Structure 1
Amino acid sequence: MIKIENSQSGRGSNASGNFVRILHEDGTMGVYLHLMRGSVSVREGQRVSVGTALARSGNTGNSTGPHLHFVVQRNSGHELVSIPYEFARPVQSLPNFAVGGN
């Protein structure tokens, strides 16, 4: 875990809203954005494993409705570059962790 924001409500001052940024072993970073205020359950510097609950999806930052915005990035010089990825399991096979969902 390298960075979190957990206190923004509504649009706030950051378009990303509340977020969690995780550094992967291959040097890429997974970023989870627009998270519910106060729901981040991990802390900066914490090592997390696959399956660790990070936070709840929300509607913070530049967002028009509750959802999880996920991106994989890598450092390229002085900027972050988004890189393509594929989920190992189809999204339909994952549990429903939506706010208010089962």
Structure 2
Amino acid sequence: MLHLKRVVNFNDFIRCKVSGDIISYGDFYYEDDEDGFIVKATVYKAMLREKELNEFNYEKLQRAESQLDYRQALKEYEREFLAQSLFERKIAHKEVY
């Protein structure tokens, strides 16, 4: 599981394993607690954003003939996305039944 951390000592320098950038004082990074994998937070967010843009299907939006059709298609995509990502969310205090 990735944990968000921040470099708090001014003389600590960590290297991002994805981009090779140096993570220095004040920068945020993600560290995997299983294997120690480190990625800079800005690199992670940029890669996540790029992945979301590549996965999004713009075909239905491009076929919209009016502003109303466009708005309805956007709402439908939003509902689909929220439904897909519902089970990926972590539950803080999961109760056992």
TM-score normalised by L of structure 2: 0.25
Larger radius of gyration: 2
Higher relative CO (Cα under 8 Å, sequence separation at least 6) belongs to: 1
The structure whose residues are more often strand, as a share, is 1
TM-score normalised by L of structure 1: 0.24
